[in-house]
Amino acid sequence: MKKYLTTIFLLTTLNIYTQEVRQFMVLNVLDSLPIENAYISVDSRLEAISDVNGSFNIYGKYKNIQITHLSFRAKMFSYRVLIDNFVIYLEEDINILDEVVITNKKRIKILLPSDDYRFSRKKSYIVNKNSVYSTYIPNDINKRSIINSIIIEVGDEMDVSKKYAIPFRVNLYTINKSTKLPDKKILTESILASQNKNRKASFVHIDISDFDIEFPKEGVFVAVESLNLFELENFNILSGQSPSFKAIINKKTSKYITYDRIYSWDRLSRIKDTIFKDWIDKTVPTPRFIFNFGIEIKY
């Protein structure tokens, strides 16, 4: 009887464990070869990295999964999409930065503080951990336009490893009408991204065309979030280093501006508890540079 009960307990435990652990495989859509070292973000938290077979495990319940890799386009999937499909295919990322392209009678335009990628005079800055940096992009287009992608120019320090990239998250913020500061997130969940070795120069594109986001008349803030301490500690391959990005000098006549917000971190609760430095702080000045964050629009 005792052995019988033990067997039932073990089978029940195994069944529960099987339900809580879901295994996925990420492959190249061109040749179905496994993709190694893809970053897996679950509900806005970095949870796993794919192995040599392209496999990774997800524990517990979740809403969304994001897949990011050096050489492939980032993708986001919902639980419903993946519930019966454990194989994820990624497309290689070979976009090239062009200021204006005309396709299918639609204009594609790049909006950046500086699109000079051939003879750049920009400097690189390593950002603080657990922080958000937002660059204002004005809307000078007198036509309805859709945001195709977010563009981030990464800094020289991002090349510390040829095997791994230093990830960061991106989002868009609306503009507070009274303060003119970043207000609300436009994307419900920030997208995990990283430097792409196939990218021309150091510009990284994050495709958000599927979200069909209209470029607001008052402009938009392009935001980058550095990872939190919990994620950095769990994935020591990142060496605890924060990402770096290129910036230009903040001139008084510039229509662009960058604000930063820094959070304090509770190592026990593992959550963002308070804002250490807000967008505007009397004791800590606004950055004297403008991070080269921007967007690609279609109109």
CATH (domain of 43): 2.60.40.1120
Q: What is the pLDDT of residue 11?
A: 47
Q: Report if residue 248 sits inside a domain.
A: yes
Give me the amino acid identity at 269: S
What integer is the mean pLDDT of 222-237? 76
- Minimum mean pLDDT among 40-44, 64-68, 115-119, 266-270: which range? 115-119
Q: Which long-range contacts (CB under 8 A, 24 or more apart) does 138-143 make?
A: 138/219, 138/255, 138/256, 139/215, 139/216, 139/217, 139/218, 139/219, 139/220, 141/109, 141/215, 141/297, 141/299, 143/299
Is the separation of the CB atoms in 137 and 111 below 8 Å?
yes
> For residues 64 and 44, what is the distance between their CA atoms, to the nearest angstrom?
8
Q: Where does a domain end: 51, 71, 90?
A: 90
Q: Report if residue 208 sits inside a domain.
A: yes
> For residues 147 and 78, what is the distance between their CA atoms, to the nearest angstrom?
22
Q: What is the pLDDT of residue 234?
A: 66
- Answer yes or no: do 65 and 105 share one domain: no
Strand partners, 58: 22
- Answer yes or no: do 250 and 114 share one domain: yes
**CATH, residue 266:** 2.60.120
- Minimum mean pLDDT among 121-125, 134-138, 141-145, 152-156: which range? 121-125
- Answer yes or no: do 198 and 276 share one domain: yes
φ, ψ of residue 209 in degrees (nearest 5)? -60, -30
Q: Report if residue 95 sits inside a domain.
A: no
Q: What is the pLDDT of residue 69?
A: 81
Q: What is the pLDDT of residue 18?
A: 46
For the chain, the average pLDDT equals: 79
Report for 19-28, 136-145, 188-197, 202-211: range of highest mean pLDDT = 136-145
Count: domains in the chain: 2
pTM of the model: 0.73
Q: Where does a domain end: 90, 114, 133?
A: 90
- Minimum mean pLDDT among 14-23, 63-72, 90-99, 184-193: which range? 14-23
- Answer yes or no: do 58 and 144 share one domain: no
Higher pLDDT, 73 or 90: 90
Q: Where does a domain end: 68, 90, 112?
A: 90
Residue 202 domain boundaries:
100-298
Structure tokens at 289: 């540079």
- Answer yes or no: do 241 and 276 share one domain: yes
Instruction: Residue 132: name the closest of 21, 272, 288 by CA.
Output: 272
Q: Is the pLDDT of residue 138 over 90?
A: yes
Share of the chain above pLDDT 90, in %: 26
- Answer yes or no: do 48 and 125 share one domain: no
